[in-house]
Amino acid sequence: MDNNLQRTPLYENHLKLGGKVVPFAGWELPVQYSGVIAEHQAVRTRAGLFDVSHMGEIVVTGPEAERAIQEMTCNDLGVLVDGKAQYNAIINPQGGVVDDIIVYRFGPENFFICVNAANTTKDFAWFTAHNKYQASFVNKSAEYGQIALQGPAAERILSKLVGLQRAKVLPYFHFMCAELCAVDAIIARTGYTGEDGFEIFLPWNKTPQIWEELLAVGAAEGLIPCGLGARDSLRLEACYPLHGHELGDEISAIESGLGWIVKPSKCRSPGCQILVKQKAEGAPRSLAGLFLDDAGIARHADKIFSLEGEEVGYVTSGTKTPTVNRALALALIKSAQAQKGTKLLIEVRGKKLAAHVVARPFYKRS
C-alpha cells in the first residue's frame, strides 16, 4: 500500500476479519469481506456494518452560523430544528456541486456537517474562504470515527445497545446524542444504501469498541461487515449520487437530479441564479436511469449515442446489481433523450449495446 494513504481506526479490525483492503479517496478501506453479492444481499434482507470513518466532519458555530452555511448551499436551512439533519449541497458560481453534504443542527449557533472523504480538505477551504459572517468553521475530522449500520434489522440491533424505545422513536433524518456502551455517540437515522439504518459518529479511539459490540449483538440478526463494493452497488440501485460521478463542479445541481433540494427563495450562492433558471426552464442535460438490453455492463465514462448516431452523453455509474439482477446505469445525457422509454446505445469496449431509459430509482424499499 502507498505510505501516503490514511487508515481509519478500524484498519486492524478489517484485517482480522479478512477484509480485502484497497486504496479509496486517500484511505485504505475494505472493498469486501465475504463477497460483494453476499454483503449487498445481507443489507437488503438483514443488516450490514460499514466503516465510513474516512468521511469528514466540520463543526460550525457562532451567532451567524446558519447564515454562513446558507450563503454557500442550496437547501433551506431555516426548516431545520434541533435534532434534525438535512441533505444539502455546496454550490459553486457555475451552479456545479462542490460537494453534497449532510447538515446536523444542534442549536441555532451550532451545526455539524458531514462531507465526503475525498472533498474534506477542499470543502473546508471553500467554507473558510467564503465565510463572511460571525461564524467559525473547524475541521474535526481527525476526532471522529463513523460506522454505518444498515438494513431492515438495523433498528433491532441498535436497540440492544440504546434501548428499543430510543431507537424506534428516532425519525428518518433526525439524530440524537446517546451513550453506546459508555461511549458518547451521535446517532443519525440516515444512510447511503436505500435501506433503513443509522450512521454513528464516535470518538476516533472508541470506534473499534463499538464496531465489535455491534457485530456481537447483531450476529443473531445476521449482521455482517461490508465493504466499499456493496456500498456502491446498494447506493446505485437506490440512485444515490456519488461525487465525481453523478455530481461534480462542472455538473449543475439540476442536471445531477438535485432539483428537489434547490430552494429558489433560500439559495443565495452566486451559482443559484443558474439553478433557479434551470429548475424553471429545464437544464440542457439530465440524470437518467438506464437498463441495458444487450449483454454487457456499462461503466463510468462510457459514451452514449442516440439511435441516429448522435453522441448524447455518458455513463456516470454502471454495473449489474444483485437485487435488480440486471445490468443498469446512471447517465448524464441531453434532456431531450432522457424521457422514459427512449432507446439509446452505449459504447462498451468498442461495441454499441442497446439500452433504454427507465424510471429512477431502480430499487425502493417497501
**In the prediction, which pLDDT does 268 show?**
87
CB distance 187 to 83 below 8 Å: no
CB distance 166 to 223 below 8 Å: no
CB distance 302 to 356 below 8 Å: no
Side-by-side strand order, sheet with 136-139: 85-91, 97-107, 110-115, 56-61, 136-139
Instruction: Indicate the residue type of 9.
Output: P
**In the prediction, which pLDDT does 166 show?**
80
Instruction: Indicate the residue type of 76.
Output: D
Q: Which residues of 308-335 are buried (b: 16+ CB within 10 A; e: fewer)?
A: eeeebbbbbbbbbbbbeeebbbbbbbbb
CA 57 to chain centre: 14
**Mean per-residue pLDDT over the chain, rounded:** 96
CATH T-level fold of 6-52+143-237: Gyrase A; domain 2 (3.30.1360)
Where in the chain are the domains?
A: 6-52+143-237, 284-358
pLDDT at 1 over 80: no
For the segment(s) 284-358, the CATH number from 1.20.1560.10, 2.40.170.20, 2.40.110.10, 2.40.30.110 is: 2.40.30.110
CB distance 249 to 326 below 8 Å: no
Of 265 and 187, the structure prediction assigns the larger pLDDT to: 187
pLDDT at 188 over 60: yes
Whole-angstrom distance, CA of residue 232 vs CA of residue 296: 19
Three-state secondary-structure class, residue 242: coil
Mean local confidence (pLDDT), 214-223: 98
pLDDT at 366 over 90: no
* 245: its cell numbers: 460521478
Whole-angstrom distance, CA of residue 144 vs CA of residue 310: 48
pLDDT at 231 over 60: yes
Q: Matching CATH topology for 6-52+143-237 and 284-358?
A: no
pLDDT at 20 over 60: yes
Does the N-terminal peptide bond of residue 63 adopt cis geometry, omega within 30 degrees of 0?
A: no
Whole-angstrom distance, CA of residue 97 vs CA of residue 191: 20
DSSP state of 313: E
**Residue 326 CB partners (closer than 8 Å, separation 6+):** 291, 292, 320
**In the prediction, which pLDDT does 67 show?**
97
**In the prediction, which pLDDT does 2 show?**
63
CB distance 158 to 175 below 8 Å: no
Using CB atoms within 10 Å of the CB of residue 233, give its burial: 0 to 12 exposed, 13 to 18 middle, 19+ buried: buried
Mean local confidence (pLDDT), 237-252: 98
Does the N-terminal peptide bond of residue 361 adopt cis geometry, omega within 30 degrees of 0?
A: yes
341-343-348 Cα angle (round to 5): 130
Mean local confidence (pLDDT), 107-127: 97
